[in-house]
Structure 1
Amino acid sequence: MKVRVKAWELALGYLPPRKEQQRSALDRKRREYRVLTREFADVFTLSTEETLPASATASQQQQYACLRQIRVDIPRTFSELSIFTSERIQKMMERILYIWAARNPTPGYVQGINDILTPFVVILLQAKAGLPIKDVNVDDETLFSDGELMEVESDAYWLLSRVLSDIKDYYTPGQPGIQRLILRLKDIVKRVDEKLASHLEDEM
């Protein structure tokens, strides 16, 4: 389980390849994430059950809309797995997704980013507990202290950030990343089978 986590951390460039640099890099990123959670702490006390007052600024309205959408999506995320029904995990995911969105206003949070986050939460919890995910009880504080869960949260945030940095333009208006992929695919099909490429073009 720990090997899988290390593979993700190295493949995504979260950890440096040189082993002697990894511990200090991990500690630095975890400290950096704790600073971010303190910076945005007030946002997470907002109630999204009530409407904002008319005097709310544009920035407050944006914060509210983002947080509200995240809170709608999280309970729907892999609800068949008990860990994702845990309040501790839902709050963790809320912080990760909101902080990422606040630091990346274009595209900000969009539905589907929560699903990209879940594999990282799963593998990190499994590695920390040394158990298969079906046997992990995140509400057991003897298994996971708040500090250990914060390490999982921090690592999940940075892994998500690394993935999204490569596909961010799939989510921006006009989806330029997807458009580039389509053009590349068209070019490949044309080179391999010009007749098929022509047929597909006619059908569009």
Structure 2
Amino acid sequence: MSSQLSSLEVNPVDYTNELKKPLPKSVYQQIELDLPRTFPGNPIFESPAGTRAMREVLHVCALQNPTIGYCQSMSFVVAVLLLLYPKAHVVNILNILIRDIVPGYWTHTMTGLQADIKVIEFLISKNLTDLYQHFKDLRIDVGTISTAWLLTLFSTTFPICTTLRLWDYLFAYGSSAIIKIVFCIFKLYKPKLLQLSDLIEVTSFLNERFKVFNNWDDLISELNGCNIPDERITQLQKNATIEIEKRTKERQLGSLKNTKFTLEELHELYQHFSTHPKSSGGTLPTSELFNVLLHSPIASEKWNEWSEQGKKALEKIFDENSDGTISFKEFCVSLAVYSRGSREEKMKFSFQVYDMDKSGSIEKDEMLHYLMNHYKCSGLEEEKTKAQNITDIIFSKYDENQDGKLLCL
């Protein structure tokens, strides 16, 4: 692997400390589901030590990249890296991939992946016109063929010796390299691909060639002879990203028409949400929710005066799928109910806020805590003394079995 990776500095203390922190529930569950699916049958990764190493690396990486958490296919990349480097070192390499070499691949929207596929299709259409037309006639989508190659960085495509040589090229030349690799693969096999008649034949042919890949000299010759400038590829990536982000925005805004926000307000919220410094791949870490709400162009509540317990309760409601991040859709849906929902919607929302321990019931201390916090945030300091009386009245009236708990009907 490239010499730049050998000089990476790692901090084992930070690695150990990160392992002690819990993962969001859905992230943990997805990692556990994927561990046995990663190179099944390989004794190294199926062993307790191998599985534990993958789990630890993915755990730390998820915490260090909260807007990503975990994305399927990352485990394959981690597994191969663990054959070469210590665990803490692998985390650093994975961070380089996520932030510099293949940004936007393992995010919720996969904007980077979509952009690169679009660039590959464009380059084939301009430089391998006969193959492009052949695929078009057969209704074969380049993305359908190459998505798995890209997401796993070829680790499930080629023998490991070839994968490592491709990674050397990738780390040496950066994000444009992965596009050149895929383009040159299609160019290398173009004569045979032109003879095939459907997607099944194409994928079967490529899979068979890749299993026992022995054309490294031919592929590297194609890569070295590729006359598409890196600067050109980088510009194409930027243009494709802008186009995809625009399309993603339109799709997201269109799906939020029923939130009681006007289209103009949704545009304002989208701009506010997407330009936040911690926003990435269409999501924010749940820990940033109150920073976003504090400067929101829509809601005017004194968010900074919420107690820590109240903030945690609200973060859990906004993070509907419990993955440790809040998508723009989750943000708008919850904010709309909180600020503009019907009486019934607000009651259900309030129940979720009251129910801080997510037990499915509200206890007196939970309601009292929320009411006192609400009065403080609303600037009604003089009303805080009524919180205890209101709590007592509500429980006296509705706690029919006198167990100190209220259920949401």
Name the TM tier (shorter chain). 0.5 to 0.7
**Aligned-pair CA distance for 1:66:** 1.0
Say yes or no: does 1:36 pair with 2:15. Answer: yes
Change (3 A) 1:173 1:71: closer
SS in structure 1 opposite 2:83? Answer: helix
- Picking from 57, 80, 87, the partner of 1:153 is 87
CA contact (8 A) 1:120 1:156 kept: yes
**Aligned-pair CA distance for 1:42:** 4.4
Say yes or no: does 1:74 pair with 2:9. Answer: no
RMSD value, Cα: 2.8
Structure 1: runs of 5+ lacking an equivalent: 1-6, 17-24, 44-61, 125-151
Once the two structures are superposed, what CA deviation does each residue of 1:43-87 show, in whole Å capped at 9, x if it has no partner?
Answer: 3xxxxxxxxxxxxxxxxxx61211121122112322322222222
**Aligned-pair CA distance for 1:39:** 3.5
Structure with the higher fraction of residues in helix conformation:
1
Give matches, 1:39-54, under 5 Å: 39-43=18-22
Structure 2: runs of 5+ lacking an equivalent: 142-409
Superposed structure 1 runs of 4+ greater than 3 Å apart: 193-199, 201-204
1:121 aligned residue: 82
- Structure with more relative contact order (C-alpha pairs < 8 Å, separation 6 or more): 1
Say yes or no: does 1:191 pair with 2:152. Answer: no
- Picking from 88, 94, 98, the partner of 2:49 is 88
SS in structure 2 opposite 1:164? Answer: helix
Take 2:103 and 2:88, find their aligned partners in 1: how far apart are those partners?
20
1:102 aligned residue: 63
Q: Which residue identity lines up with residue 41 of structure 1 in the other structure? A: K
Take 2:66 and 2:75, find their aligned partners in 1: how far apart are those partners?
16
1:14 aligned residue: 5
Identity, % of aligned positions:
21
Take 2:84 and 2:125, find their aligned partners in 1: how far apart are those partners?
40
Q: TM-score, normalised by structure 1?
A: 0.56
1:129 aligned residue: none
SS in structure 1 opposite 2:28? Answer: helix
Take 2:103 and 2:48, find their aligned partners in 1: how far apart are those partners?
28
CA contact (8 A) 1:34 1:154 kept: no
Q: Which residue identity lines up with residue 38 of structure 1 in the other structure? A: N
Q: TM-score, normalised by structure 2?
A: 0.30
Once the two structures are superposed, what CA deviation does each residue of 1:23-45 show, in whole Å capped at 9, x if it has no partner?
Answer: xx5xx41xx243232233143xx
Say yes or no: does 1:179 pair with 2:108. Answer: no
Change (3 A) 1:181 1:201: farther
CA contact (8 A) 2:18 2:60 kept: no
Q: Which residue identity lines up with residue 17 of structure 2 in the other structure? A: R
